[in-house]
Structure formats: C-alpha cells, structure tokens
Chain A
Amino acid sequence: MSSDCDRMREHVADLVSGTLSREDVQIVEQHLRQCPTCRSYADALRKEDLLLNEYFTDMSADMTARQQRVLSAVDRCRVPKQKNSAAIWRIIMRSKITKLATAATIIVAVLVGLHVVGPLGATVTFAQVVEPILNAKTVICDVIIGADDTNPAMHEIIVGSRIRRTMSNLPGLVMIIDLDGGQMLALDTAGKTGSYVSIEGQVKDRTQNYVDFLRQVIRQVQDGRVEKIGEKVIDGQKAIGFVGRGRNEEVTIWADPQTAHPLRIEAQIGQEFAFIMKNFEFDTPVDDALVSMELPAGYTEQEATSDLTDVTEQDFVEGLRVFAEVLEDGVFPEAIGTETTMKRLPEMVEKAQQKGVSEEEIGELGTRLGRAMIFHQILESQGQWHYVGAGVKLGDADKAVFWYQPKGSPTCRVIYGDLRVEDVAPEDLPK
C-alpha cells in the first residue's frame, strides 16, 4: 500500500458515507480504479454501509410503535398550564412591524379608556389617604388590566403630561406617551429602533383623562360618599379599605392605616373593564431623559404603521369581524371588551399564524382591534351597550350581536351577525 493509498483511505470512508466533497469524489474514484487494495477496502465499507442501512431501517420500522408508547405515556401525564403568555408575546415581538403595530397599538388602546368617572362619595379619613395622590408631581405605579393579579403588569412613570410605560411581559418595548403633543414614541430596546405613533383625537382626549384619572376619582370621592370596608393584609401590610361607587364605576382604595399611603386601588369601569393599581411611589425624582420624546442616542427611527386617530363605529364592526373570524372560526365569542381582548390576544395571534396570516397582516389585525377597543371603551363610559353575540355565526343576518344607544340619540344602533348595522327604536330591540 503506497503513501498515496494512506492518504486516499481517509477519503474512501467519506466517499462511501456520502460526505466527500464533489471535487474530491473524482480524485478518489480515479485512485480506486487503479488500486485493487483500496478498491477492496471501499467494497468492504460499501457492504458495511448496506448493513448499517438495513440495521437502522429495521430500527426505524419500529419507531411508530415506540412513538406510540411515548404518546401513551405523555397522555397519562398532566400538562402544566401556565397563565403567562410570554411565548406568544415573543412571537409578537419578533417582527419589528408587528411589535410596534400590534403590541404598542393594543397596549395604548387598552389603557386609554379608563376615565369618565361619575359622582362618588367621601369621608374625612379618606381625604388623608388620598392627599399624596392629589399633590404628587410624579407618580410611579404598576397597573394590571383585569381583576387578576397574575395578569401582566404595566409599570408607569407619570411626570406631568408624559408617561413612560413598560410591560412586565414585554421586556423589549418602552412606550413614552406625550399627552400634550398627542404622540407616542415606541422604542424597541433590543433592536435600537423607535417609532412615533400619533394618538391625536379620541385617544389623546381620553388619555389626558387617564393621567388625571386617580385625581379625578379622588376629587369626586371627596365630594360624595365613601363606604369604609374594614381592614385586610396586603403583601404583608395591614391596610384599610374604602369603596366609592359612581354611575358606571366602582373604585376600592386600600391604604396604610398609619401613614395613609395608598397601597392598592381596584377599579371596575363599566361592565367589562377592571384594573388594579399598586406599588405607588409619589414625588420620587425622575430623570427627564426617561420621559423624553427625543429618539435616544444610538436608535434609528422606523416608520410606524399604527393609526389610532378618528375611530368610528365601523372600526368596532371590523373588530367584531376579527374576533369571529380569527378567534372562533366564524362564531362570535362568549364575551368582548378590553379585558377579554387583552387576555385572548395571544391566542388570537397564534390562531392567525396557524391560518397563515403574515406578520404584517397580524400587525394590521392588531391595529383594527386597538381601534375597535377605543370605540368600545367610549361606549363603556356611557354604559349603554349590550353584547348578545355569544355563539352567533358570522354571517347570520337574523341574529343581533351587539347594540348600543349613541349619546343623545333616540334610536339604537344594532349590529347583526352579518355585520350590517341598523337603527332600531328602543322598544324594538332584540330580546
């Protein structure tokens, strides 16, 4: 065996296994034609290759049975169910377009409509509790949408008309909202990009109220009646509770009985919308840069696709269509509303992806839902709406899905299963 053979033998195994580069194949085959020793070696390896193939083919034939045994074993196990939908949020976050259009749009939309608060009650003790809220120049707190503490929390830093908002389940997204300027800056901290989204119109009007929401509630409470509801322990701290009820709102405030520092606020607005505020800090010094609308150094600007201005009834109708088409395969869902939307949003994104909807289109769906929610929140504050669509098939022209009475209108607007909208006298409304 020549030294050439020694060198070639290394390649023969590669040749037989199929891992040899195309250009070397010719060289090795040329050598094999001339060298009987190496040819014999190659023949032996080829036979072994056949044996290996047979061996693993036989083994693969049993894979179905093996897999079935594993599936049976898995079936006997409990699936650990998680409430946190961080994985789906990551799907949303992966596309820059989707991230800014869906996540930011919906988060902004979800959180703007808290604000039309009716008359509440007051007591002297309560005034002490709310004093820091009324007079603080900066407020830092966590806001949780829904009545469930395990829902994702928004961390809010409020300085005058500026809000810096981050989400516990969206670590890469920072939203800075300029209420006076009617603009939001959405920052992708991982990709170092930022987008400006206009929040002019209804969103801006209602968001301005949002910043003052606590103070508005409190002032109204001070002028009215407040019911004291006793004490309980919150996060290891003794707390005294007060509840104030408005025309369309119920607000419970828990505070430290010694210092009067507010510990937790639970609010129910309208039929569907609940939220919790906690971890309050008042007048903590805040760096201006945290609420600056300037694009931070090192960031590049991206054009935003979101549009939250000039929301109309048609936006709400389109939102209902998204709910039925994407979420429930052609049937209107059990419930609608801001909390429902927030909770089911990850599921909706997932189903949209399963239906082959592109990232860009999902972003568009997000914008539609955001606009629909803004319209619905306006109705929430007026209290004149009814959802009767649970189980109704999309396209069913005979069944009503939703009706509401516009402010000052003698008639109601009824949305049917085929998504047409008609004016109906209150006495003729569907039962």
Chain B
Amino acid sequence: MDDRSDEILVASCRRGDKAAYAKLVESHYKHVFARCLGMLGDIHDAEDIAQDAMIKGLSKIGKLANSERFGPWISQIAKNLCIDFLRRQKRVKPFVAEQPASPRQATAENHDLHGAIRQLPQELRVPLVMYYFDNRNAKAIAEKLSISHSGACRRIRMAREQLHKLLAGTTENE
C-alpha cells in the first residue's frame, strides 16, 4: 500500500466510509503491532495497545494533517500509547522489559528467546522486532524510526549481540 492509496483511503474515511478504514487497518496493523511489541516486549500488551492505537486513529482521523502520512501518524499514536502504558506500569510495579539486559538474569532464562527479547533494552528491542517482522528491511526500519540506515543496522547488530549473550549466559569478557 503506497502513500497515495492511503491518502485516498483517509479521504474516504473522513467522509464516513468505515470500509476504507478497515483497509488502512489491514495495511498498517502489522507494523503498528510490531512497534508495540518492540516497545512493550509482551505480546498480549502489544495486542491491546495496537488495537487501542487503531481505534484512536479512527476517532482522530480528522486531525491528520497530511493524509498521505497515515503510516507514520498511526505509528506515532501507537508509540505514545505505549509510553503511557509503560508509565502506568512503572507506577504500579517494576516492569521487567524496561530493565537493562543483565547476563545474570539471562543465565536463569537460558534459551528462553521470549524472555531474552523482553530483557533487551527498548532501543534495541524495537528495531530487532521490526526487523524480523518486516522482512528484514533495515531501510524501512530506519525510515519508521527516523534514524539513519547505518544506525538501524547498528542497533540490529547490537540487539543480536546482546541477545546472544543473554541466550548463551556469557559476558562480554568471556
């Protein structure tokens, strides 16, 4: 789905065409979910927040200034909702996904890929999840995260290195 198609769908949606918004959901939900999963580290939380983002997008569609930019806009909504969610979580209880990666913790959860991914710091987990969700397209990730291509590649590399340490239970000095 290109920006132009999005622009037409947004215009239809603004005139009350719910089917047009369904098409926008079909095009963008996967990316929104990946963004939420990357930020939150928990599948169920990501499902909830991604759904909230899509519904919020529908209610705020009239406020979208550049309708051809629906993708970045809905992604930003999702990001903001994730930040709110994490803030609330921190107030309620310490959130494991926000803790820095620790080799000692990893030893206890060796070979637990899910647990290891959750332990990655958010700035590495987000590009890693997007990378494996987005057909290994580092360029697209760079655009979505507003970082350079080399920056996206670097974060993916660091994520892989940290993940390896977490899974192997090793330290950098070993």
Once the chains are docked, how many angstroms separate the CA of A67 from the CA of B30?
A: 8
B11–A70 touching, CB < 8 Å:
no
- Taking CB atoms and an 8 Å cut-off, the chain B residues in 11-34 that contact chain A are 11-18, 21-22, 25-26, 29-30, 33
| Nearest chain A CB to B158 CB, angstrom units | 8
Once the chains are docked, how many angstroms separate the CA of A354 from the CA of B12?
A: 11
Once the chains are docked, how many angstroms separate the CA of A52 from the CA of B160?
A: 10
- Give the total of A residues in contact with B, Cβ under 8 Å: 44
B17–A16 touching, CB < 8 Å:
no
Cross-interface CB contact of B160 among A17, A80, A91, cutoff 8 Å: A17
Once the chains are docked, how many angstroms separate the CA of A53 from the CA of B134?
A: 11
Asked if B138 CB lies within 8 Å of chain A CBs, one says yes
B59–A80 touching, CB < 8 Å:
yes
Asked if A14 CB lies within 8 Å of chain B CBs, one says yes
Which of chain B's residues have a CB closer than 8 A to the CB of A81? Answer: 14-16
Known A-B contacts A48-B163, A56-B133, A73-B51; A67 and B11 likewise in contact (beta carbons under 8 Å): no
Which of chain B's residues have a CB closer than 8 A to the CB of A59? Answer: 37, 43, 133
Once the chains are docked, how many angstroms separate the CA of A49 from the CA of B14?
A: 43
| Nearest chain A CB to B75 CB, angstrom units | 15
- Taking CB atoms and an 8 Å cut-off, the chain B residues in 146-174 that contact chain A are 153, 156-157, 160-161, 163-164, 167-168
| Nearest chain A CB to B54 CB, angstrom units | 5
Asked if B88 CB lies within 8 Å of chain A CBs, one says no
Chain B interface extent, by class: 35 or more
Once the chains are docked, how many angstroms separate the CA of A52 from the CA of B161?
A: 13
- Taking CB atoms and an 8 Å cut-off, the chain A residues in 64-84 that contact chain B are 66-67, 69-71, 73-75, 77, 79-82, 84
B26–A19 touching, CB < 8 Å:
no
A52–B113 touching, CB < 8 Å:
yes
B7–A91 touching, CB < 8 Å:
yes
A74–B33 touching, CB < 8 Å:
no
B160–A88 touching, CB < 8 Å:
no
B55–A73 touching, CB < 8 Å:
yes
Complex interface bits, A1-41 against B, C-beta within 8 A gives 1, otherwise 0: 00000000010011011110000000000000000000001
Which of chain A's residues have a CB closer than 8 A to the CB of B129? Answer: 56
Which of chain A's residues have a CB closer than 8 A to the CB of B131? Answer: 17
- Taking CB atoms and an 8 Å cut-off, the chain B residues in 64-110 that contact chain A are 66-67
Which of chain A's residues have a CB closer than 8 A to the CB of B47? Answer: 66, 69
Which of chain B's residues have a CB closer than 8 A to the CB of A346? Answer: 11
Once the chains are docked, how many angstroms separate the CA of A307 from the CA of B32?
A: 47
Which of chain B's residues have a CB closer than 8 A to the CB of A79? Answer: 13, 16-18, 21, 58, 61
Would you give 12 A-B contacts (Cβ < 8 Å), ordered by A?
Answer: A13-B164, A14-B153, A17-B153, A19-B153, A19-B156, A45-B164, A51-B113, A53-B132, A73-B51, A73-B55, A74-B58, A79-B61
